[in-house]
Amino acid sequence: MSKVRNKNTSIELVVRKALFVRGFRYKINDRTLPATPDIVLPKYKAVIFVHGCFWHGHNCPHGKLPKSNQEFWSNKIKLNKSRDRKNIDRLINQGWRVATVWECSLRGKTPKEVTLVIKTLKTWLTSDSQYIKIP
């Protein structure tokens, strides 16, 4: 598991590049905040997590547990999900707005589908909404 990337993943890079092209400026992996969000947009008091479906227990085909060693994986993913919830709550309590973009919303999608996800993020960033999950 130590070889699994936890930053600068291909999906994260897609989101960052798309935001940058649209004029959004951000910090990456800000360790001063709870949970070290993938993308921090201080101007909008917003953070974006780009979650891998497997590692964060998304309810989609990519989030399916392996058949071997199910007890280990089940416990690990439960702990990850619990930590994610606590970190989101901590950020919101500190006045941050939080977005979670799931891997399955971008991986293997057409450019039009990716653009729709980015437009959704852009709309959220310029709104007053506290939290969004994509998809």
- For residue 97, give its domain range: 10-133
* Domain-embedded: residue 5: no
* Domain-embedded: residue 81: yes
* Domain-embedded: residue 38: yes
Q: Which residues contact 24 (CB under 8 A, 6 or more apart)?
A: 41, 122, 125
CA dist 27 and 95 (Å) reads: 17
* Domain-embedded: residue 4: no
Q: Which of 68, 49, 57, 45 is nearest to 7 (CA)?
A: 49
* Domain-embedded: residue 78: yes
Q: Which of 104, 113, 129 is nearest to 18 (CA)?
A: 113
- Residue 95: CATH number of its domain: 3.40.960.10
Query: How many domains, in total, are found in the chain?
Result: 1
The predicted-structure confidence for 55-65, as pLDDT tens digits, reads as follows 999 999 999 99
pLDDT at 8: 87
* Domain-embedded: residue 48: yes
Distances (CA, A) of 124 to 46, 54, 64, 132: 10, 25, 29, 7
Rounded to 5°, the CA angle 36-15-62 comes to 85
The predicted-structure confidence for 19-56, as pLDDT tens digits, reads as follows 999 999 999 999 999 999 999 999 999 999 999 999 99
With a threshold of 0.85, does the pTM exceed it? yes
